[in-house]
Structure 1
Amino acid sequence: MPLLLARIDDRLIHGQVVHGWGGTLRPTWIGIVSDALTREPARAALYVFAAPEESRAEVISIPEALRESTLQTIRAERSFLLFPSVLEPLRLKEGGFPLEEVNVGGLHHAPGKSAVLPYVYLDQGDREKLLALSRLGVRLVAQDLPTNPAHPLEPFLQGTP
């Protein structure tokens, strides 16, 4: 089975992911890809605990996500990958991960970031990383919930939505 959703969302597992995307796509495995979070076991456990009861969640590093065993899990399960920032999917793609599309669903306001959509705020570094992903052949789609319209993100990165 192909990867159901690869989503950048700085909140990781929360209502939109659990009820919105999870209720629609019904994942059985959720990989939370974050090197930083793997170094914080107590915080990582909170995200694992927040996963839908029909899903098994794991916090994994970028190197772990690139392992063949992770690809086998993705192929065998109804899988989501969640990323806290634009860095993780870029590193995966650069590492050879077969990432075809990334949902940018929640990058919220922070100092130095400007609104692209009500749920997507980017700084120059984010834009550069997303453009690099796009150049590597990854489709970038901004969509907060599956019931809301999807927006191709590339025009927003060029400054002309």
Structure 2
Amino acid sequence: MAKKLAVRVDDRLIHGQVVTQWVKVFHAQKIVVIDDQVAIDKMQKSILKFAAPPDLKVSILSVEKAAEAWKKNKFGSGNVFVLFRDVKQIAKLQEAGVSFDEITIGQMAVIHDRKQIYKQVGLSESEAQTLMDIEKSGVKLCFQMQPTDRKESLEIMRKTFPNLH
């Protein structure tokens, strides 16, 4: 069972800011990336593993495999930093019976039907509703780009999407 667990959404997954700030602040020994597409793409898996420092264990799992690993031993021992590319993967994992206490929302590019919500966070209305639904289940959610930034509540989404429920 993980000693400490931090969960973050960042569409860049493993990159400089995650490795130099988040992982260090959290003292993580392991990163678990949960993403169905990345889990089956050998090239992306190689790139992500290469982006992590050599002393950091990296696991890249589909939602199904992540649910199995969680039920088996909650991602192993030590401090574990969990990364998702998008909020839909979190909802899918929650449907499989896995829920986290707290999730930080980081960068999600403002592309397609996404609107800027907070700094470099863009969400579509359906993604914003997914976050609201996850929060209703008892998970603490906040927006935070860097560990030194103040945490922002999901309420800021209502300025852009007033019909969220």
One fold, TM greater than 0.5? yes
Q: C-alpha deviations, 1:99-141, integer Å up to 9, x for none? A: 1111101111102211111121111121121111112111111
- Matched to 2:96, the amino acid is G
Would the aligned equivalents of 1:131 and 1:157 in 2 still touch at CA under 8 Å?
no
Change (3 A) 1:8 1:71: farther
Q: C-alpha deviations, 1:70-93, integer Å up to 9, x for none? A: 752535121011000001111122
Alignment-derived partner of residue 107 in structure 1: 108
Alignment-derived partner of residue 59 in structure 1: 60
- Tell me how far 1:18 sits from its aligned partner: 0.5
Alignment-derived partner of residue 14 in structure 1: 15
- Matched to 1:158, the amino acid is R
- Tell me how far 1:60 sits from its aligned partner: 0.3
Instruction: Name the SS for the 1:31 alignment partner.
Output: strand
The number of equivalent residue pairs is 159
- Matched to 1:2, the amino acid is K
Q: C-alpha deviations, 1:52-83, integer Å up to 9, x for none? A: 23211111010111114675253512101100
Aligned runs of 1:1-161 on 2, under 5 Å? 1-3=3-5, 5-68=6-69, 72=73, 74-153=75-154, 155-159=155-159
TM-score by length of 2: 0.88
Change (3 A) 1:71 1:159: farther
Q: C-alpha deviations, 1:29-60, integer Å up to 9, x for none? A: 11100111112111111001111232111110
Superposition RMSD on alpha carbons, in Å? 1.9
Instruction: Name the SS for the 1:18 alignment partner.
Output: helix
List runs of 5+ in structure 1 lacking aligned partners. Answer: none
CA distance in 1, matches of 2:111, 2:43: 24
Taking only the aligned residue pairs, the percentage that are identical comes to 26
Change (3 A) 1:93 1:73: closer
Change (3 A) 1:105 1:60: same
- Matched to 1:159, the amino acid is K
- Matched to 2:88, the amino acid is L
